[in-house]
Amino acid sequence: MNPSQSLSLHLYTSSRILIQLIQGRLNEFGLTYPQYLVLEVLWKEDGLRINEIGKRLELDSGTLTPLLKKLEAMNFVKRQRGEADERTVTAELTYPGKSLQSKLRASLASFDELLQGFPDLAIDSLNQNLAELLESLKSLKNSENGKT
């Protein structure tokens, strides 16, 4: 197995297991993992345009719109059309959506224990390397799709 195949296998398997573990906790809140990711993006920067959320999560509008509609029905997010351009839609957290952050983070804190066996430097380095890999893969994907 070459290095890219090995990396792909490890990333795929690790992410599936971690997502399954996280999903177990999200079930308590009635959330799916993709809905949780949307909330994480908005907790980092509220009031984003829908297309910006899609860019950050690599999701198209056909996937993102139902997620946002469901979050809106749950009263965690409010979608708003732009006054100047009605085609522009932003998503803002509601009060319940904002207050959910601390509850969810507390529920998910135990996953940090998984990382306690690793030195902080190794985790920081892994996160940095994965972030760089993600950017490289996005660039490769864009060049493969004819977008430069």
pLDDT of residue 32: 96
Quickly state the pLDDT bin for 86 (edges 50, 70, 90): confident
pLDDT > 70 in the chain, percent: 95
SS3 79: strand
pLDDT in tens, 112-146: 777 777 766 677 888 888 889 888 888 888 888 87
pLDDT of residue 121: 62
Q: Does 26 score more than 90 pLDDT?
A: yes
Q: Does 34 score more than 90 pLDDT?
A: yes
Are the C-beta atoms of 86 and 49 separated by less than 8 Å? no
Q: Does 84 score more than 80 pLDDT?
A: no
How do the domains of the chain map onto residue ranges? Answer: 3-117
- Supply the pTM of this predicted model: 0.84
CA nearest to 39, candidates 125, 116, 132, 26: 26
Q: Report the mean per-residue pLDDT for the chain.
A: 88
pLDDT in tens, 43-58: 999 999 999 999 999 9
pLDDT of residue 47: 93
d(CA 63, CA 66): 6
d(CA 74, CA 78): 10
Residue type, 107: S
> Rg of the chain over CA atoms, in angstroms?
17
CATH number of this structure's domain 3-117: 1.10.10.10
